């Protein structure tokens, strides 16, 4: 076989035709390598739907590249030549094709990035690791932004990103005269509201083959494999965005924090998995949302709230990840060590809110940000769950979860395990918050209005017990100090009842 020029490795979250490694190549002289790898499917035991989604999207992307003139070596999971790991598969391809160079776009996760760096010594050919320009702020740019600040806050980063992109800007001022409309985006939803459903897609022959493979090879992983309705092509992912902008985005702002039994999606886009694997261009999606606002079909609070999630939080948590790795994954500010309860896997709990969030996660590999932050994350924080165990759970169960985005959201925002580097306060709340933003509490076996006792909502005693346990660490936090003072005004008998109720509940875990 004639020697090729470049062996271009495309990773499973790089399903973008303008990828820097592909842009540097030439279909006439270079060869693309893609592979479904056991190591990547099992470094945590990913949700069955997540594995199926990525393998199917990868196979469809390989066909897209072939249609554009590329020669693609695609190694399926059950292929005889599958070596199970990135390094093993690249070694096999190097031996077969004897490329002049290996070319790859930088990895999104620290462990894979270290693997790519190791190839420079491992293989007998040069390895070019190119920057990933699909993000709006490079790790170097973020580090430069962070270096000049005593305290990192997403809001100020977000404003800089608005200025950089021009999104929702009127000259040098934000559209509507303010940067953030979050105060308008906290309405509880009513079950009588019309709820649009995200656009779904029936599996084609490629997806059906993948579903059979995943059922056979990963049947003991968490989650339901069927029904499978994800988009797995760029065109279908873009159609999902079109449907969201037309049908759901107008109400997204008002109800983005709401939770309703039996309504997993409400007005959410449900496109994070498409963004994070490369099927969607984040800036293109944001410009589409801005265009809908400019055309008068979407209110400003909805457009701004959505765009903030993409160019604000998404870019910000990636910046934090690369700024603080390695080691960030082991932060544990509160010293929490309790094992993750079994009901995070089984949903067998009398807490209606947790049961609903976990059941939905099991069925869909999806829960929206408030379900993650203020139900499963909030419970873990109050109960003193080991933040690393919780991090691995989130990484396992959600189709959109990659370590660069999931780890800072869990360790930094949800669990405050970095001590306030990412978030300004611990996102701790009693049952009153869940009752205000959802209908979960009505049929729950626990009484959300009781603070202590066997029938009280566990979130209530756990909340005040959390305040009591950690008051010396949080009393100087401007957003938590009042809660510490409130607890310290409770009568000693009430403080004792709180501690006893929390201890009794936690002992039952």
Contacts of 83 (CB under 8 A, 6+ apart): 89, 91, 92
Q: Which of 400, 204, 229, 199 is nearest to 317 (CA)?
A: 400
DSSP codes of every residue in 358-388: HHHHHHHS---HHHIIIIIIHHHHHHTB-HH
Task: Tell me how crowded residue 488 is: count the other CB atoms within 10 A of its CB.
Answer: 12
The pair of three-digit structure tokens given for residue 182, joined into one six-digit string: 């979050």
Two tokens, residue 359: 């059941």
Q: What percent of the chain has pLDDT over 70?
A: 99
Higher pLDDT pick, 162 / 509: 162
Written as one string, the DSSP assignment of 75-133 is E-TT-TT--SSHHHHHHHHHHHH--SEEEEEPPSSHHHHHHHHHHHHHSSS-EEEE--T
Chain segment 214-262, per-residue pLDDT in tens? 999 999 999 999 999 999 999 999 999 999 999 999 999 889 999 999 9
List, for residues 305-343, the tens digit of each pLDDT value. 999 999 999 999 999 999 999 999 999 999 999 999 999
Q: Are strands 31-35 and 6-9 parallel, antiparallel or unpaired?
A: parallel
SS3 (DSSP) at 74: strand
C-alpha 303/C-alpha 251 separation (Å) is 10
pLDDT in the model for residue 438: 95
Whether residue 1 has pLDDT greater than 60: no
Q: Among 40-54, 154-168, 250-264, 483-497, where is mean pLDDT lowest?
A: 250-264
Q: Could you tell me the CA-to-CA distances from 19 to 69, 115, 200, 278, 321 in Å, in that order? A: 15, 20, 27, 9, 21
The tally of CA atoms less than 13 A away on the side-chain side of residue 44 is 20
Helix (H) or strand (E) run with residue 243 in it:
helix 234-243
Q: Does domain 6-130 have CATH number 3.40.50.620?
A: yes
Q: What ranges make up the beta strands (E) of 10-76?
A: 31-35, 71-75
What topology is assigned to 343-507 in CATH?
DNA Cyclobutane Dipyrimidine Photolyase, subunit A; domain 3 (1.10.579)
The pLDDT tens digits of the residues spanning 342-399 come to: 999 999 999 999 999 999 999 999 999 999 999 999 999 999 999 999 999 999 999 9
Q: Which of 364, 352, 366, 340 is nearest to 434 (CA)?
A: 352
The architecture in CATH of the region 139-203+232-324 reads Alpha Horseshoe (1.25)
User: Minimal CA–CA distance to 317: which of 163, 142, 185, 134?
Assistant: 142
Specify the residue for token string 């009484």. Answer: 447
274-314 per-position pLDDT tens digit: 999 999 999 999 999 999 999 999 999 999 999 999 999 99
Q: What is the pLDDT of residue 508?
A: 93
> Where are the extended beta strands (E) located within 396-508?
none
| Contact (CB, 8 A) for 99 and 5 | yes
Where are the chain's structural domains? Answer: 6-130, 139-203+232-324, 343-507
Q: Tell me the three state secondary structure of residue 254.
A: helix
pLDDT band with cut points at 50, 70 and 90 for residue 190: confident
pLDDT confidence tier of residue 2, bands split at 50, 70 and 90: low
Mean pLDDT of 173-181: 94
Q: Using one digit for the tens of pLDDT, what is the confidence trace for 404-427?
A: 999 999 999 999 999 999 999 999
pLDDT at 195: 78
For 6, phi then psi, to 5°, come to: -110, 135
**Band (443; pLDDT cuts 50, 70, 90):** very high
Residue 250 host element (H or E):
helix 249-255
- With cut-offs at 50, 70 and 90, classify the pLDDT of residue 184: confident
């Amino acid at each position: 076989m004639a020697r090729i020029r470049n062996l271009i490795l495309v990773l499973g979250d790089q399903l973008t035709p303008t990828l820097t490694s592909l842009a540097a190549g030439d279909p006439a002289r270079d060869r693309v390598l893609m592979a479904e790898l056991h190591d990547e499917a099992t470094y945590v035991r990913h949700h069955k739907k997540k594995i199926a989604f990525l393998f199917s999207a990868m196979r469809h992307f390989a066909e897209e590249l072939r249609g554009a003139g590329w020669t693609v070596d695609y190694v399926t999971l059950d292929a005889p030549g599958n070596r199970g790991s990135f390094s093993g598969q690249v070694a096999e391809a190097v031996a077969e094709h004897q490329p002049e160079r290996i070319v790859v776009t930088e990895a999104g996760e620290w462990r894979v990035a270290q693997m790519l760096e190791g190839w420079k010594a491992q293989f007998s050919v040069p390895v070019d690791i190119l920057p990933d320009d699909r993000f709006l702020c490079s790790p170097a740019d973020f580090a430069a932004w962070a270096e000049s600040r005593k305290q990192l806050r997403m809001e100020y980063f977000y404003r800089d990103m608005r200025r950089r992109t021009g999104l929702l800007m009127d000259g040098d001022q934000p559209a509507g005269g303010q940067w953030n409309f979050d105060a308008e985006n906290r309405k509880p939803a009513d079950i009588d509201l019309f709820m649009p459903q995200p656009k779904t897609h029936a599996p084609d022959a490629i997806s059906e083959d993948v579903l059979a493979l995943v059922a056979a090879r990963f049947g003991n992983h968490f989650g339901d494999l069927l029904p499978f309705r994800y988009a797995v092509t760029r065109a279908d992912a873009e159609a999902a965005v079109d449907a969201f902008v037309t049908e759901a985005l107008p109400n997204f702002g008002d109800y983005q924090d709401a939770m309703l039994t039996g309504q997993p999606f409400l007005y959410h886009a449900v496109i994070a998995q498409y963004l994070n694997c490369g099927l969607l261009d984040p800036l293109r999606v944001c410009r589409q949302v801005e265009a809908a606002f400019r055309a008068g079909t979407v209110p400003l609070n909805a457009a701004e709230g959505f765009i903030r999630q993409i160019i604000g939080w998404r870019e910000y948590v990636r910046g934090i990840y690369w700024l603080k790795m390695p080691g960030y994954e082991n932060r544990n500010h509160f010293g929490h060590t309790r094992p993750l309860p079994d009901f995070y896997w089984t949903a067998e709990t009398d807490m209606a809110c947790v049961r609903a969030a976990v059941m939905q996660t099991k069925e869909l590999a999806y829960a929206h940000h408030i379900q993650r932050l203020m139900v499963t994350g909030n419970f873990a924080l109050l109960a003193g769950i080991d933040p690393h165990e919780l991090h691995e759970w989130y990484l396992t169960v959600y189709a959109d979860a990659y370590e660069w985005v999931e780890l800072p959201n869990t360790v930094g925002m949800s669990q405050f395990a970095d001590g306030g580097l990412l978030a300004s306060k611990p996102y701790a709340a009693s049952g009153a918050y869940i009752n205000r933003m959802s209908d979960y509490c009505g049929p729950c076996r626990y009484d959300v209005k009781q603070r202590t006792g066997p029938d009280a909502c566990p979130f209530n005693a756990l909340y005040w017990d959390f305040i009591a346990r950690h008051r010396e660490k949080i009393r100087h936090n401007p957003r938590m100090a009042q809660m510490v003072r409130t607890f310290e005004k409770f009568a000693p008998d009430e403080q004792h009842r709180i501690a006893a109720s929390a201890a009794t509940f936690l002992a039952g875990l």
